Amino acid sequence: MNFRKISSVVLFLIVFVLPILIQYISTGQYFSGNDFVENHSYIRNLYEVWTHFSTNLINYLFFVSNPIFIFFVVAYLVQSAMKWTMSDD
């Protein structure tokens, strides 16, 4: 029973914590606000809004590349693996 709990914690750490540590070691601090300022703050009027959405609409609708969607899919898979690991079958 204790081995299953430990393996669940290790699985969680490997899937969610380790990538964050690796990203921090490789690139340093990263703020999503910096990406907004560098790539999206050029919008000043309605014409630039139209231009922005017309060029980026396909990227926004392609939900498979959305990081939030990927996070929830991975979280579901890890939760399922943890349930399977913790089950007493």
**Chain segment 17-70, per-residue pLDDT in tens:** 998 899 889 888 877 677 777 776 777 889 988 888 888 888 778 878 778 888
pLDDT of residue 89: 55
Distance from C-alpha of 77 to C-alpha of 38, rounded to nearest angstrom? 34
Q: Which residue has the higher pLDDT, 89 or 43?
A: 43
Domain enclosing residue 71, as ranges: 2-86
Which pLDDT belongs to residue 40? 66
Q: What gap in Å lies between CA 27 and CA 36, rounded to an integer?
A: 18
Give SS3 for 87.
Answer: coil
**Pick the residue with more confidence: 29 or 74?**
74
In total, how many domains does the chain have? 1
Residue 24: what are its φ and ψ, rounded to 5°? -65, -40
For the record, the structure tokens of 88 come out as 């007493």
